Amino acid sequence: MANLDLYNPSEEHKALREMVRTFAERDVWAQAREYDRLEKFNRPLFKKAGDLGLLGITVGEEWGGAGMDATAAVIVHEELSAADPGFTLAYLAHSMLFVNNFFQNASEAQNKRVLPKVISGQWVAGMGMSEPAVGTDALAMRTTAVRDGDHWVINGNKMWITNGCVDDSELGDCFLIYARTGEARGKAISSFLVEKGAPGFRLGQRIKDKLGMRASATAELVFEDCRVPADALIGAEGESTLHMMRNLEIERLTLAAMSLGLARKCIEIMNDYASQRQAFGTSIRNFGQIQRYIADSYAEWMAGRAYVYATAAAMDPAAHGNRMDSDGVKLYCTTMGKNVADRAIQVLGGYGYVGEYHVERLWRDAKLLEIGGGTLEAHQKNIAADLRRVPVLR
């Protein structure tokens, strides 16, 4: 009988991890440095992820997805991020921000038309929530959608959109776009399917020269009297604040899982290097400060891993109500991942500062996870607010 545990709670989860780890070590790791240097999204590799059935991990099998749970989503993000967090971020924007969100909230007809294309990897998708002047306070968004007969007319800009473009000049294929359809804060937000080629929809600036996550393309999306058909509305008008908040929970969980993957790889690299590197006639792992870097990193990674998988076990991708711990795992793990990467550079010294040993890339990628999908400050605010209603912890 297989050794099943919190991290592989079923044979299916164990097989998924083995398959994704093989893909990550064989295909994803091999291209990571090159695509980071080129600041380029690897679309052929993305299509391979579709061929492996990874792009619809939480979508029902009747729609061509894997029909798996939040733990499965965590496994995929952890394993991919150990090889290339930049590619993994593009995967997350597609599979969680668009595919999971769309599947949970779209109509049967919408799912029937769109899901086969995004699950196969034929289409690259993303989600538009942030704006040039609106980030953490998403409910203050300024993008509007106004009904005009058989169409909706969208005006506004979306910023920092992962998969906004697939190269320097080509839009991603489709997006789930949040827009204001009324005056009341929060209750007036609706979401729309906007496809490449929609009149009035164009690519704004391609955001280059990022610190990290360079293998995921980031762009501005511009809507100038963009017309989409009436049936592009996802769900009912004005109900998408719920869609947004529900999907933020699994987004934050999987971003935390990305931190687990990159931290694990950093620990492996510094542990191996500490055994090989000699100084003053002995391996540097015999020095107390090096031991502290390695041991603290391992303990913090294990603590974060237990928290992430416990939270995943309690999460239903189709529901919401676990904001405190989805915020908590991202608050803890993203800083943990950055700190572990920083220690790995310190252990490797000058070698850690150059690309050959990969930890400098992982360190650069790690910083974005403290910002994207909710800042550390937003998580602290949310957790403190939620704890006000829970005076006794059990």
Tell me, what amino acid is at 354?
V
The domain segmentation of the chain, as residue ranges, is: 11-124, 126-237, 241-387
pLDDT number for residue 163: 97
Q: In whole angstroms, what separates CA 96 from the centre of its chain? A: 7
Instruction: Give every CB contact of residue 71 below 8 A, 6+ residues apart in sequence.
Output: 9, 13, 309, 312, 313
pTM over 0.85: yes
CATH code of the domain made up of 126-237: 2.40.110.10
pLDDT number for residue 136: 78
Integer Cα distance of 372 and 162 in angstroms: 10
Backbone angles phi, psi at 166, to 5 degrees: -105, -10
Tell me, what amino acid is at 268?
E
State both tokens at 272.
């191996």
Q: In whole angstroms, what separates CA 392 from the centre of its chain? A: 32
pLDDT number for residue 216: 97
pLDDT number for residue 167: 85
Q: Indicate the burial class of 264 (C-beta count within 10 angstroms; 0-12, 13-18, 19 or more).
A: buried
Please give the DSSP secondary-structure letter assigned to residue 68.
Answer: -
Same fold, 126-237 and 241-387: no
Give the other-Cβ count within 10 Å of 277's Cβ. 16
Which CATH architecture is the domain 11-124 placed in?
Answer: Orthogonal Bundle (1.10)
251 catalytic? Reply is yes
Integer Cα distance of 145 and 275 in angstroms: 59
Integer Cα distance of 375 and 380 in angstroms: 9
Q: Can you name the residues that pair with 233 across neighbouring β-strands? A: 192
Q: Which of 78, 131, 251, 300 is catalytic?
A: 251
Q: Where would I find the beta strands (DSSP E) of the chain?
A: 125-128, 144-148, 151-162, 174-180, 189-195, 201-207, 218-229, 233-234, 278-279, 282-283
Provide DSSP, 284-319: GGGSHHHHHHHHHHHHHHHHHHHHHHHHHHT--TT-
Run means of pLDDT, 10 residues per run, the chain, 394 residues: 79 98 98 97 97 97 96 98 98 98 96 98 97 84 95 97 92 97 79 98 96 97 98 95 92 98 98 96 97 98 98 85 93 98 98 96 98 96 93 84
pLDDT number for residue 185: 65
Yes or no: domain 241-387 corresponds to CATH 3.40.50.360? no
Q: Among residues 261, 272, 265, which one has the least CA distance to residue 358?
A: 265
Integer Cα distance of 228 and 176 in angstroms: 12
